[in-house]
Amino acid sequence: MTATRHDTNEIARLRREVRELTDAWRAEGRYVPRSDNWMRGFDPDFSRELATRGLIGITWPREFGGAGQSQRARLAVNEELLRAGAPVAAHWIGDRQIGPAVLRHGTPELQKEVLPGIAAGRSVFCLGMSEPEAGSDLAAVRTTATAVEGGWRVNGRKIWTTGAHKATHAYLLARTARGERKHEGLTEFIVDMDTPGVEVSPIVDLAGEQHFNEMVFTDVFVPGHRVLGTVGNAWRQVTEQLSFERGGPERFLSTYPLFALAVRDAASVGSDDLKAALGRLVARLATLRRLAWKVATSLDGGAAPVVDAATLKYLGNAFENDVIDFARRLCAPDRPELSAAWGQALLASPGFTIRGGAADVLLSIIAKQETRP
């Protein structure tokens, strides 16, 4: 699917709108750009401002609060938000993957219940996927959901749950049956965070910040209509969902605020080695943006580009860490802004290669695709 002249003009208009908004908020001192702000920058007011402009759920049907735009239009909006280091964590997960998953697999009742709140910037989602001792192996989920009258009873633990302490809702992956293969018998749910039995405990990171959490579910009742998709079919559904999670520009633009400062300060350095290294980074960034465009185009066509998304995340994580290494070479007492930004990005960096799937998991996905006849 190729972009029409109308698509191109609309994408350019959206870029201008986001740039004007972020420029205005920065000028008013309403936020400070920094790396990894799509996870750490929680500002409900900013998310609601985006919502009033129709920039959340932008690809969704208008009946659910969306704008009926393309995935490429959404990519343009998110590139500009990440470039500006904007505080978008309050809506990011809901907009990025929960909304699309509900659109694909949710019942009409669930769509009407969940989607408008995300599009309006009211509903904040966290992801109940990873578990203690399971690492990136989602098929090793041990949290159970047992059928009871009117719904399901959930027991188990989730870990590394970003934003759970501020979320209104949780996406939950739980085991509803045990089959011969561990990928079988998994089901997806939407859970209200104020349901009795849901407990959230903080996990403080190296920067002394809390965005990770552990969640414990003790006899948590989930109504039957809160099942997302088909009972027992979650493995196929969550694999599709990970295309939305892994294939976005946040996988290579988390450190862009630092990169922009490094590019600025590198102009005053006469080192040929540094200039060559910068050129390589710029070329890699252009390639990653092109791959992200390919993923968005595939999603517009109704596909689930699992391999392209895994490839983007794997290469994007390497790029982000290399940006930090490049900026380190420019840090100096007379460049305090760059040095501070480098330190903040460095402290955030351990999570880059873990969230959304560790490198060995991504390489396994890529390798399996490449070996198919």
What residues act catalytically?
Answer: 245
Cα separation, 46 vs 371, in Å, equals 45
Q: Which residues, including other chains, have CB under 8 Å from residue 337's CB and lie 6 or more apart?
A: 261
Tokens (6 digits) for 1: 């699917």
Cα separation, 131 vs 140, in Å, equals 8
Cα separation, 234 vs 76, in Å, equals 30
Of 319, 316, 340, 317, nearest in space to 328 by CA:
340
Contact criterion met (CB below 8 Å) for 66 and 102: no
Cα separation, 287 vs 290, in Å, equals 5
Helix axes 256-266, 306-328, angle to 10 degrees: 40
Q: Which residues, including other chains, have CB under 8 Å from residue 196's CB and lie 6 or more apart?
A: 220, 221
Of 68, 58, 28, nearest in space to 45 by CA:
28
From the CB of residue 272, how many other CB atoms can be counted at a distance below 10 Å? 8
Cα separation, 364 vs 306, in Å, equals 12
From the CB of residue 111, how many other CB atoms can be counted at a distance below 10 Å? 18
Residue that has been written with the tokens 């070996």 in this structure = 371
Rounded to the nearest 10°, the torsion over CA 304, 308, 314, 318 is -130
Full DSSP string of 332-364: -TT-HHHHHHHHHHHHHGGGTTTTTS-HHHHHH
Cα separation, 360 vs 373, in Å, equals 22
